[in-house]
Amino acid sequence: MKLKINIDSKEYEVDVEVAETETVGHARLQAVESSAARTPVVTAAAPARETSSVAESKVCRSPVSGIVASVIAQAGQTIQVGDVLLVLEAMKMETQVSAPVSGKVADIKVKAGDSVQSGQILVEFA
């Protein structure tokens, strides 16, 4: 396949052929060959959802993929519906993650600075 690529106002015509696909971790690497060089292309795979059998009423999952900015709740703390458990940062915006149920915090699965995926368990309740 021939492609025309414009880089810094210069047009290049290249021959491209998909040679192989390889899965590494959660990324799919696709080797692309052109007449000039072999360049790896990385595409994100769908986030892995935790498949263990867990009562959804006993966990709080991440609503978005991002970085844990701060953890406000503590293990053993009694919380009410709507209490802020932690703050996530995604795309330069902060998202407060609130308790979906009232009860006692059994375990906090993340700490500040951790990267999380959408749907990942953040907090478990007793």
C-alpha of 74 from chain center: 23
Q: Where are the domains of the chain?
A: 2-44, 56-125
pLDDT tens figures, 81-125: 999 999 999 988 999 999 999 999 999 999 999 999 999 999 999
CATH fold group of domain 56-125: OB fold (Dihydrolipoamide Acetyltransferase, E2P) (2.40.50)
pLDDT at 18: 65
| H-state helical runs in the chain | none
List Cβ neighbours of 11 (8 Å cut-off, separation of 6 or more): 4, 5
Q: Check: pTM over 0.85? Answer yes or no.
A: no
Structure tokens at 5: 């690529």
Ranges 3-7, 33-37, 103-107: which has the least confidence: 33-37
Structure tokens at 78: 């009694």
